[in-house]
Structure 1
Amino acid sequence: MIITAIQSTFSQKEKKYNIGGFVELDHISYFKNTEEYDTKVNSRNQGILQLELDGSVNDKYHFFTGIEVRNDISDADRERVFIDEAYIDIYMKTMDVRIGKQIINWGEADGINPTNNINPIDFSDIIDTDDERIGVYSISSKYYIDDITIQGVFIPVFQSSKIPSTNSRWFVDFPTTVALPTGEIIPAQFVLQETQEPQKDIESAQFALKVSTTIKGWDFSVSYFNGYDDLPSFNRQLSQDQNGLTNVLITPEIERLQVFGADFSTALGSFGLRGEAAYFRTEDQDGTNPFIDDSFYQYVIGLDRTFTDIIGENNLFVIAQWVHQIIESGEDAPNTNLNNIFQESFVARAEYEINNDAKFIVQGIHDIKVDNTYVQSELRYNLSSGVNLSVIGDFFGGKDNTFFGNYQDNNRIQARLKYSF
């Protein structure tokens, strides 16, 4: 009776409201636990409650609010109670305006989107970032001229991404030595300082612009973002304490960033073709600052197809993508940096419908430049209406000091039970 009441839609004159959301239970176990991880969080046992209120006052005004409560008895750093989104839409004849906390997704590629830079991400679990974009307080407007849509976004207050805490298995521990400019390697202690973020004032405001259209079955867009990198650069400074011990002070700093982007998608017979590219103009345009990413180009090109009636009436969806990053200075970028994971990468995903209630999904990434790999497999089953069970395996491989290679001990299995209402 209570669930039926929550799910119901009720009207009062011209007002209509919907209440929905989901409840999720999530457990993760890692295959390998050693003394090295005694101080790390070695599992996940979390529950999530998401409540959403969606309504329209009339044809001109719409509102949405999503509130999330997440509790993790294994990792307190992942606990949160906050507003995912809370905005109001105003519809006009040739223009729409959205005001409030919102998530804005740009790009046509599958999962890897160089043009999608407006919202930060919760990277407390680097692999589990689906639905982990963080809403930003902003004003977004769309203006329609025939087949052309012009979207502008203004973000008055900066919000950074969340990086793993030092007790997380996704935080790579600092080394115990440092190389001096002379080449000598000496013992050292690394100390992580507080992140230096922009001031919360109008001078740190960000904005973005996107123009999109459709021409003879081809969807195109060009975009521009002017703001900050939501991930910090890490400045290093050597010092010595009174006992003569060398300290390496690591100061995360948020730097300005501009992104010029474009994307497209179309259907070519039974295939889907999509592409996306962007130029990231960082604060280190001349490539002389070792602590700031050099400016770089990144593009994604992908091809997908759905094969019908593979076995009986079951379908198979397959997509393959190539991701390439080109550093403007010609220097190699460290693959361990979150902004430089995909340098020369082949990315693929396949979804097979076992029956009406079950689906098997496998996806993987292999970077041929640095030789590291990530593979995820998932069996998804609909237990009943609105109730979904997923069993997920994550597997890593690669050389030491590569992004996925650093997490070879983090192979794991995840069980997720979700009820949507």
Structure 2
Amino acid sequence: MKAFNRLSAGLCLSVFLFCPVHGVWGQGAGESSWQLKGLVDTYHAFRSEKPNDWMSSRTRLRGEVGKNFAGSSLFVSFNATYNALLKERTGFELREAYLDHRQEHWGFRLGRQLVIWGAADGVRITDLVSPMDMTEFLAQDYDDIRMPVNALRFFVFNDKIKLELLAVPTFEGYKLPTDAANPWSVLPKETPRSLVWDAEGSRPELRLSNVEYGGRLSFALPGVDFSLAALHTWNKMPVIEYKPSGSQLTVSPRYYRMGFVGGDVSKPLGQFVLRGEAAFNLGKHFSYIQQAASTPQKGFNTINWLVGADWYAPHEWTVMAQFSSESIFKYESYVAQPRHNSLLTLCVSKKLLDSNLQLSDFTYFDLNHKGWFSRFTADYALNDHIHLLAGYDWFGGSEGMFGPYKHNSEVWAKAKYCF
């Protein structure tokens, strides 16, 4: 009932937002006006091996409302979702809500917004401002996995150079699935003790000393784009701590300060685009193996880097490959992550039927643990507004980040209407 009330409240708010749109839709181009767009989609997936149970079943209304006036703009986006399996995800969610103002050489954006840094595709190197929603692991569109933050961004720019200064006053961390009924739960599945998730007191308090801040200097020069960035932040993926007590094992998330300096570069060469990105992380904390639960936490310095190439081939083929690796300095054997952790990604796509059908496959391959996650997608544009999609998510491996989901391979279907 509470979920239904939340959803009803959200729908009422969406109607309230839409009302003024209709009233000013026909204003002239020179006057301020409201813009409305959005989508309705429904997504369903079932496990491809026994017991062939449902892995996901959700329907969503996404609304986006904007207003432009005198060099400024307002933007609000929201989700009204019904989730048949994860009842706590049913309801209304305010996604973005910000004011954007631009002058000739400066501007700012204030409010709840997505912050995207770096040149990598589906891999986080310097893109550490916006956290991730891992409720269904990576079995969602990447745009839906990325979460907004409350931030103030100040810009100074000209035709070739852009300086961005950033402040994030309120903490936002990864959204992790901890319900044992969720097939994507991050909790250990086979333990001799009963598990208790205890997140009380784990989030950083709202105070000035906990503000995240940083900046990014970007250059768009003839033949090459590159940027330099620095950030004093929090590790949005928490360290998982285990505390055994009698027949129980208490699992708690802990967040720690960290920083990085780094940058990215992108250069087109004919049909190819070469990309690179690197970050030197300062004081990054990691989860420990359960046997080292009593070992005090400490931060490590790491180097995280990526190289990639995109090939926009003839006949509407696209091939994108990336290799990334993170190395931990002064490594200790009780750290759960390997000293050198490497990941390979490969995306291949092809358009057919006058570009109305796109077949694609995006694969992550964990080189350390020989595990993988591969998402095959067939996307057919029925018309300009309606897309019908189907695909298969294939998991493999016994250890590492994909090993826990080796039995979660799934068949899925999705329909999307954009307006």
Which residue is equivalent to 1:312? none
> Is 1:15 paired with 2:29?
no
* Aligned counterparts of 2:141 and 2:109: Cα–Cα separation in 1: 25
Asked if the contact 2:178/2:197 (under 8 Å) is kept, the reply is no
Matching of residues 105-116 of structure 1 within 5 Å: 105-116=116-127
Asked if the contact 2:55/2:183 (under 8 Å) is kept, the reply is no
Q: Return closer, same or farther for 1:350/1:70 CA change in 2, 3 Å cut-off.
A: same
| Structure 1 unmatched ranges of 5 or more | 178-186, 240-244, 310-314
Asked if the contact 1:28/1:414 (under 8 Å) is kept, the reply is yes
Asked if the contact 1:397/1:405 (under 8 Å) is kept, the reply is yes
Deviations 1:33-91 (A, max 9, x none): 44xx9xxx843221110111122112x21111111111111221322412111111111
* Aligned counterparts of 1:342 and 1:208: Cα–Cα separation in 2: 27
Q: Return closer, same or farther for 1:146/1:74 CA change in 2, 3 Å cut-off.
A: closer
Which residue is equivalent to 1:373? 372
Provide the TM-score with structure 1 as the length reference. Answer: 0.85
Which residue is equivalent to 1:269? 270
Which residue is equivalent to 1:242? none
Deviations 1:273-314 (A, max 9, x none): 0011112223559x99565664322111001111113xxxxx
Which residue is equivalent to 2:178? 165
Which residue is equivalent to 1:408? 406
Q: Return closer, same or farther for 1:6/1:392 CA change in 2, 3 Å cut-off.
A: farther
Percent identity, aligned pairs only?
21
Q: Return closer, same or farther for 1:374/1:250 CA change in 2, 3 Å cut-off.
A: same
Asked if the contact 1:9/1:19 (under 8 Å) is kept, the reply is no
- Aligned residue for 1:77, secondary structure, equals helix
* Aligned counterparts of 2:22 and 2:381: Cα–Cα separation in 1: 21
The alignment covers a number of residue pairs equal to: 387
* Aligned counterparts of 1:71 and 1:354: Cα–Cα separation in 2: 33
Which residue is equivalent to 2:261? 260
Which residue is equivalent to 2:13? none
Which residue is equivalent to 2:381? 382
* Aligned counterparts of 1:7 and 1:385: Cα–Cα separation in 2: 26
Deviations 1:108-147 (A, max 9, x none): 1222131111111111011125122221111111101562
Provide the TM-score with structure 2 as the length reference. Answer: 0.85
Matching of residues 7-406 of structure 1 within 5 Å: 9-11=25-27, 14-34=31-51, 42-58=54-70, 60-127=71-138, 128-132=140-144, 133-145=146-158, 147-166=160-179, 167-174=181-188, 187-195=192-200, 196-239=202-245, 245-282=246-283, 284=285, 294-309=300-315, 315-331=316-332, 333-334=335-336, 343-355=341-353, 356-399=355-398, 401-406=399-404
* Aligned counterparts of 1:65 and 1:381: Cα–Cα separation in 2: 29
Asked if the contact 1:277/1:298 (under 8 Å) is kept, the reply is yes
Asked if the contact 1:122/1:129 (under 8 Å) is kept, the reply is no
Asked if the contact 2:310/2:320 (under 8 Å) is kept, the reply is yes
- Aligned residue for 1:349, secondary structure, equals strand
* Counterpart residue type for residue 411 of structure 2: I
Which segments of structure 1 move beyond 6 Å, counting only runs of 4 or more?
A: 5-8
- Aligned residue for 2:157, secondary structure, equals strand
Q: Return closer, same or farther for 1:19/1:55 CA change in 2, 3 Å cut-off.
A: same
- What is the deviation of 1:371? 1.1
- What is the deviation of 1:176? 5.7
Q: Return closer, same or farther for 1:284/1:48 CA change in 2, 3 Å cut-off.
A: closer
* Counterpart residue type for residue 144 of structure 1: F
- Aligned residue for 2:319, secondary structure, equals strand
